Structures are given as C-alpha cells and as structure tokens.
Amino acid sequence: MAVTIPPLERSDFLTGQPLVDGTEICGDSTYAITNPATGEALANVAKLGAAQTYRAIESNSRAFIDWRKRHAQERARLLHDWLALVRLHRQDLGLLMTAEQGKPLAEALGEVDYAASFIQWFAEEARRVYGEVIPGSADRRIIVIRQPVGVAGAITPWNFPAAMITRKVAPALAAGCTVTLKPSELTPLTAFALAKLALEAGIPPGVFNVVCGDAPAIGSVLTSHPDVTKFTFTGSTAVGKLLTAQCATTLKRVSMELGGNAPLLVFDDADLDQAVEGTIASKFRNTGQTCVCANRILVQGGIHDRFVEALAARVSAFTVGNGLEGATDQGPLITRAAFDKVQGHVADAIAQGGGIVTGGKRHGAGELFFQPTVLTGANPAMRLADEETFGPVAPVFRFDTEAEALALANATRSGLAAYAFTRDIDRAWRVAEGLETGMVGMNNGIVSTETAPFGGIKESGLGREGSRHGIDEFLEMKTINLGVRS
C-alpha cells in the first residue's frame, strides 16, 4: 500500500485498529482510509458492526464498576498522563490527521493542541465536582451529590478528528463514566491513536473503547442499548435528529452539537482590518469545513466595497495544496460529495445573480480542491443562504440597517455561532443580545476554546461542551434527604 506521509516515530499509528477492552480487534472485513489530498490509500482498517459494539458496551459496563469508584484525584492523574503522551506525540498525531483529513499540517498541529486543552481542562475539573447542602427543615437536611451518568456512547465527525473526541471523552472520563466512541469512518486513525495513548497512560481497559465501520449498525446499538445511559454526538442536524429519536426509546441523556449557518455581520463602523482578519479566521478555518464557520457574510453598504476588496486580496493570496507539503493555507475538501455541494452552491449563486470576485472553480491542486472564493450579490433565495456550504466560499450579502442585518442573520433554523464587527459598544451589546445563537464572536472570528461553553440553540443542538459546564453533561444529581434528630 502506498503510504504518502513522512515516516512517523510511532509507525504503529498507521496500522492502528479499533480498540475494545484494551485490545485491538478485527471485523469480518476491512476498508481503506484514503488521503483526500491525493486519493491514495493510507491504511486498511477493520470494519466493525453491531456484534463488536455490544462487546464494547459490555466491557464499558464492567469497567464502570471500578472506574466510578476511583478517587477523582486518581482519574485526574491518569488524564494528565494521557495529556503528556498526546503532547509527546504531537507531531505524529498532526501528520496522521493531515494525511487522513487533509487540513494543513500547521492547522493539524493546532488541533492536537486544541484536543490536548480539553484533556488538561477536564483533568483539572475532575477534582471540582461539587455538591450542595440545602437547609431543608428543622428535622431534615438535604444534600445533593453528583455522580457519573454511566456508560456513554459518542459519535464524532471527520472535520476535527482529535478535538471533538477529547471534548467528549475527557469530561466523561473525568466524571467517572466509561465511553464507547465511534469516530467518523473517514478519519479513524487519529481516534485509534488517541485511544492507544489513553491505554498506555494507564487508563484501564474498557474505560475508553473505539469502534468503527458500519455506521448505521454501530449507531443503532449505541443509541438503543439499555446500558448506555448517555449519548453525545457532533455532526449534521439531520443525523442528530435521527439519533435523538433513537435515544428516546431508552430515554438516554443526550447532547447534540449540530450544524450551523453562522452569520457574520460587518457594520460601517467596524475596524476594516479586524473584520477582514476575523472573517478569514472564521470562514476559512479547516477550508471552511467547521460547523462554526461563517456561512453568510452580511456587510453594511458604507463599508461593503472596501471590505470586499480587502477580503478578496487576502483570499486570492492563499496557498492551496496538500497539507503535508510546504506552507499550505487551504487543503482539499473531504469527499467528492462535499466538493459537489460547494460547486453546486457556487453555480446556484451565479445563476441567481451573484458575482465571483475571486475563485469560483475547482483548484488545479487536485480532484477535491476548490479555489478559495469570494462572491458578492448574495441573497436569501440562494441555496447557500439556507444550507451550510462547508467549503471555502465567502458569500457577501449587503444590508443597510442594523434591524435588517439582525433579521437576515436570524432567518434560519440554525443557531450555533454568529459573529459581528462594530466599534460601537451599544451596538455590540444590542447585536450580541439579538443574535439567536449559542455563541457570538464580537470583533473576533474564533469562538472555540476549552474555557468557554460551546453549543447551539434552535436546531443546532442540545447541551454544552467545554468549560466548567461540559462535565455536567456526564453527571447526575442525587438528592439525599437526611432526617436529623435534635
């Protein structure tokens, strides 16, 4: 098999397999993982299904008995040991991620750091699971303790092959839960490597399992098995709704981090450079393939032309190519279907009166590369106004008033992230309060950090990840009503 990546210190990361109960396991068949930049095969991995998922959950249930009883201090120590190994193997994890996902190496290394930040944060939070004491009545004291939910099922996407895993698994383990994770079939190698490092760090077999292969079969077991008491998903809204419905049959605790359609508002009084840099950071991160990427860029009339000119100058200077070669800024799209969607959005926008300022076509770097694109004259009738493009296309809508901008921004069933650029402090507050999203970047194109709650409203999700609230998703409250004789 042609291997298209520089040699790894941990060459076993390239031959990694699903990990259940501390053992790499095989399925009845295998499938190939390909590099989206070159189309070449990287590895063959086991294709698992329902039977192995049942096995994984059984091992989670066994491991839970001991793991939940370990003192928080010990779970924290083991998470810190896992963190140290992730940091030690940062370069290999970054190379692996670029090879299977396509993001430029600098971005992949940044994602390893982002992933590590969740392990560190929740290793620290493990020791801060506080309860409360409520003065009940003369003969009663009420004590609330917080205990792990139990076995958690998790499904993560291909766009962040490391960070979406640690943002779920680290708080689960910190809380005392055990987890079976299904990463995307497109990017399992990073997941296998993370699970292997957790095991090497001393996290006991069965605490963190990874299964992968037949997604509907695995998903159906994770969402229906009575021993799975918590289910957490990051991915599309359509799939999230389906999985939530499946979880309803056994009434699991559910958290959903789903699709967005982020508006980014630029007002006449914005700092032009800050607005352009913020737009680049939000729109073109991971080649436009994040659920918090700006999807609609709304620009006020007075700054519109200057903004478009400055944005197009930055965008046309991007280096597009294989993320493992040179100083690449933009990589490939993940699949042919993703490429076709981006191309379809651009064609539809042009047919509906949009104009290309830069880009607009397939890039010469390869089959799945699309030119970084800025288009103007965007309007609500276009497909890109209603659907996430998930690619390197910045459509600019023009508006006149703040009220019009807010109405346009909120005209969507999604409510994950939004961004606004203004130097007027009153407007900043009004707009931040008026945007119907779970997160707002104000004069800032990045909202993601381990320290802040991440999640959406409307059809963008349920619950929050990261921050001091992220661990709550894996904890239950228990009320102890204590009779007291005076």
Site for ligand SIN in 444-463 (CB under 6 A): 448
Q: How many residues bind ligand SIN (CB under 6 A)?
A: 9
Which 287-316 positions form the footprint of ligand SIN (CB under 6 A)?
A: 290-292
In the bound state with ligand SIN, the residue whose beta carbon lies nearer, of 290 and 300, is 290
Q: Which x/- pattern, by CB under 6 A, does the window 152-171 give for ligand SIN? A: -------xx--xx-------
CA distance 387 to 346: 12
Q: Output the smallest distance, CB 169 to ligand SIN, in A.
A: 15
- 229 vs 234, beta carbon nearer ligand SIN: 234
* 77: phi then psi, degrees, rounded to nearest 5: -65, -40
Minimum distance from residue 6 beta carbon to ligand SIN (Å): 27
In terms of CB distance, is 290 or 373 closer to ligand SIN? Answer: 290
Q: Per CB under 6 A, which of residues 323..352 are in contact with ligand SIN? A: none
Site string for ligand SIN, 55-74 (x = CB under 6 A): --------------------
Nearer to ligand SIN, 163 or 315 (CB): 163
Q: By C-beta, is 27 or 161 nearer to ligand SIN?
A: 161
Q: What is the identity of the amino acid at 92?
A: D
Residue whose beta carbon is closest to ligand SIN: 448
Write down the least CB distance from residue 80 to ligand SIN, Å. Answer: 22
Q: Least Å distance between CB 341 and ligand SIN?
A: 16
The burial of 69, by beta-carbon neighbours within 10 Å (0-12 exposed, 13-18 middle, 19 or more buried), is given as exposed
CB of 406 to ligand SIN, least distance (A): 24
Tell me which residue has tokens 């073109």.
284
- Residue closer to ligand SIN by CB (options 8, 164) is 164
Q: How far is the CB of 441 from ligand SIN (least distance, A)?
A: 11
CB of 216 to ligand SIN, least distance (A): 21
Tell me how far apart the alpha carbons of residues 69 and 392 are, in angstroms, rounded to a whole number.
47
Residue 149 or 262 with smaller CB distance to ligand SIN: 262
181 binds ligand SIN (CB under 6 A): no
Residues between 223 and 252 that touch ligand SIN (CB under 6 A)? 234
**Which residue in the list 107, 257, 459, 473 is annotated as catalytic?**
257
Strands 41-47 and 132-137: unpaired
CB 50 within 8 A of CB 221: yes
Angle at 376 between CA 267 and CA 310, to 5 degrees: 60
Is 257 known to be catalytic? yes
CA 464 to chain centre: 12
Structural contact between residues 160 and 292, judged by C-beta atoms closer than 8 angstroms: no
Q: Which range of residues in 121-129, 178-186, 284-292, 368-376 is near ligand SIN by CB under 6 A?
A: 284-292
Catalytic residue numbers, as ranges: 257
Binding site for ligand SIN (CB under 6 A): 159-160, 163-164, 234, 290-292, 448
